[in-house]
Copies of this chain bind each other. A is one copy, B any other.
Amino acid sequence: MTSLALIEAAAERLKGHARRTPLLSSPFLDEIAGRRVLVKAECLQHTGSFKFRGGWSAVSAVPAEVRARGVLAYSSGNHAQGVAYAAQQHGVPAVIIMPADAPRLKIANTRALGAEVVLYERGRDSREAIGERLADERGLTLIRPYDEPQVIAGQGSCGLEIAEQAAAEGVSEADVLICCGGGGLTSGVALALEARAPGLRARPVEPEGFDDTARSLAAGAIRANAGAEEGLCDAILTPQPGELTFPIMARLCGPGLAVSDGEALHAMALAFLRLKIVLEPGGAVALAAALFHPGAVAGDSVIVVATGGNADPKTFMRALAEFPP
């Protein structure tokens, strides 16, 4: 089980390797939201998303002689790049299982970071089954994307930073909106905040139609999404919350929020214009909730985790064209 001690240990291992990402703001965004908006820019993390934290945490926690045989991950892209880069920095091989329809750029980047990429067909193949077979055959250590205590602990290091940075800004009571897929980041941050900033409340944000976490929190039990795993916000389309992450979120998180694809694109355009950062759709849903659902948020300030920036240029151009200044 992930605890504060595990998060602190992960943060210690991440020192000098992960970036302490800045907390950004703009008076123009404050005006739209009707309150102060503080944006934790995890898109500026190595490999362009918070996933490097969990990847490094998990890879560095594997005993050296086991790690030398290599690690394995399945991911639509951001966890893939995070684990690939962490493995490369540790000098060990990485095999990454990716859906064949993942953004081309994420596949190319994962290969360029030294990993062997194995593609599978969503809906037809089980990535978990492929992963377990390869792990057995080659002696690889599987690094699960979120249902893995050391991954949750690594993502939790982001929460430790938020607690410190919010205090430096004089913010002790606020909702912390977090783009949520399987819940690794949301649960890790929630655990860190529970200990270090109990007035800050983690809340997952998802795309409409893929709000499995919000519905699970409302129901008090895990609920799955009805449909396929394809959509604009590819980075955070998971079938349901994790077995490890859900109990943490159920205990600590406020209600979930959901935004439309159009709102995610609009938030990308505003992050470009006002913060000078690049967000991908799945990394922009929390900012979209802060800007366009102000009535669903509590307090004078809101903290947003902008989780990833691995946007396809075409999608980014679409956001800028559809939402001019």
A2 to chain B, nearest CB (A): 27
CA A321 to CA B20, docked complex, whole Å: 32
How many copies of this chain? 2
A218 at the interface (CB under 8 A from B): no
Interchain CB contact under 8 A, B105 and A325: yes
A124 at the interface (CB under 8 A from B): no
Interchain CB contact under 8 A, A320 and B316: yes
Stretch from A197-205, A209-217, A224-232, A269-277 forming part of the interface with B: A269-277
* Residues of the B chain whose Cβ atoms lie less than 8 Å from the Cβ of A276: 43-44, 48, 277-279, 309-310
A311 to chain B, nearest CB (A): 8
- The size bracket of the interface on A is 20 to 34
A51 to chain B, nearest CB (A): 13
Interchain CB contact under 8 A, B278 and A272: yes
CA A317 to CA B313, docked complex, whole Å: 9
CA A43 to CA B273, docked complex, whole Å: 11
* Residues of the B chain whose Cβ atoms lie less than 8 Å from the Cβ of A41: 44
The secondary structure that dominates the A interface is helix
* Residues of the B chain whose Cβ atoms lie less than 8 Å from the Cβ of A27: 85, 113
Closest to A113 in B: B27
Interchain CB contact under 8 A, A313 and B19: no
A324 at the interface (CB under 8 A from B): yes
Interchain CB contact under 8 A, A321 and B325: no
A60 at the interface (CB under 8 A from B): no
Interchain CB contact under 8 A, A313 and B309: no
* Residues of the B chain whose Cβ atoms lie less than 8 Å from the Cβ of A43: 276
Closest to A312 in B: B325
A318 to chain B, nearest CB (A): 10
* Residues of the B chain whose Cβ atoms lie less than 8 Å from the Cβ of A278: 272, 276-278
Closest to A321 in B: B317
CA A321 to CA B320, docked complex, whole Å: 13
* Residues of the B chain whose Cβ atoms lie less than 8 Å from the Cβ of A48: 276
A62 at the interface (CB under 8 A from B): no
* Residues of the B chain whose Cβ atoms lie less than 8 Å from the Cβ of A317: 317, 320-321
When each residue 270-297 of chain A gets 1 if its CB lies under 8 Å from chain B and 0 otherwise, what string results? 0011011111000000000000000000
* Residues of the B chain whose Cβ atoms lie less than 8 Å from the Cβ of A44: 22, 24, 41, 275-277
In-complex Cβ contact of A320 among B20, B269, B313, B324 (8 A)? B313
